Chains A and B, each alone.
Chain A
C-alpha cells in the first residue's frame, strides 16, 4: 500500500518493495496480483489510466489512505512497545 501513494503498476510495486526492503523482500507475482485485485474490491486502491498499454496502473484511494495511516500507527505503537519491553540483546 505504501508503494501506491504514487501511481505504479505491478512491476513498479515489485521494484519499490525490493528497494525499500534493501532486497530482503521479493513479492511473488501470484501474491501481488491477488493482493491488488482484493484491494481494488475493498476500494483501498483504484485502477487509473497509465501510459504503458501492457500494464495497469493503481493508486491509493482516500479510504486506502486512512487504512494505511492506521496501519502505520499500529506498527509504530508495536515498535515502541518492542523497544521498551523486549530487547532480545539484553541478557537476563
Chain B
C-alpha cells in the first residue's frame, strides 16, 4: 500500500493559480494529488515529477462528460478528480503539446462567465435575505429579532462578502480576457 496523506487547505475560486502552484510543488516533492474534497486534498507518495495542474469549471450533462474527458485525455491531461463542477487535471511538463487547457481567450472567458453565473445564482438567496427581505417583510416576522437569526445574519454577511469578492475578481478576469483579445 502506497503512503498517503490528507491536507486541509483553503483556496477560493479566485486563487486558481496559487492552488495550481501549490499542487505542482507537492508533486515536485513526490506527493501527487489523488482526490479532492471541500478544502481537503488527498495525496499519494510517488516519484517526484514536474506536473502542471489546471482546473476547468463546466456544467456537463452526464452524456457529454465522456467526450469531454476523452478530449482532455487525448491532449495528455489526466483527470484527477471532480468537485462539483470543478474538474482537476494534470499533465507532465515533459509531455509536450499545449501546457494550458485554454489556449485562446474566448474559451477562458466563457469559463469565467460560467463560474460567475453559478456564483451569482447560488448566493442570490443570501443577498436577498440580507438586503431585500429585512427591508420589506421583516417587520411582520418575529424571526427577525431572534438571537438565532442574528447569528445567521453574521454568517450570511461573511458568505456575501466572500461571494462578492469572488465575483468581482472573476469579473476582472473576464475583462482581462477581453482586453488582450
Interface residues of A (CB under 8 A from B): 10-11, 14, 18, 26-35, 54-56
Would you call B66 and A30 a contact (CB within 8 A)? no
Q: B64 → chain A, closest Cβ, in Å? A: 9
Would you call B107 and A31 a contact (CB within 8 A)? yes
Would you call A34 and B67 a contact (CB within 8 A)? no
Given contacts A27-B103, A28-B98, A30-B101, contact A14 B67 (CB under 8 A): no
Q: How large is the interface on B (under 10, 10 to 19, 20 to 34, 35 or more residues)?
A: 20 to 34
B68 on the interface (CB 8 Å rule)? yes
Would you call B74 and A30 a contact (CB within 8 A)? no
| Count, A-B residue pairs, CB within 8 A | 67
Would you call A26 and B103 a contact (CB within 8 A)? yes
- Closest Cβ neighbor of A52 among chain B residues: B70
Would you call B102 and A28 a contact (CB within 8 A)? yes
Would you call A14 and B70 a contact (CB within 8 A)? no
Q: Is the interface of A mostly helix, strand, loop or mixed?
A: helix
Would you call B101 and A11 a contact (CB within 8 A)? no
Given contacts A11-B74, A33-B71, contact A28 B103 (CB under 8 A): yes
Would you call A14 and B100 a contact (CB within 8 A)? no
Would you call A28 and B74 a contact (CB within 8 A)? no
Q: A26 → chain B, closest Cβ, in Å? A: 4
The proximity string for B residues 33-74 relative to A, scoring 1 for CB distances below 8 Å and 0 otherwise, is 000000000000000000000001000000000111011101
Q: B63 → chain A, closest Cβ, in Å? A: 10
B97 on the interface (CB 8 Å rule)? yes
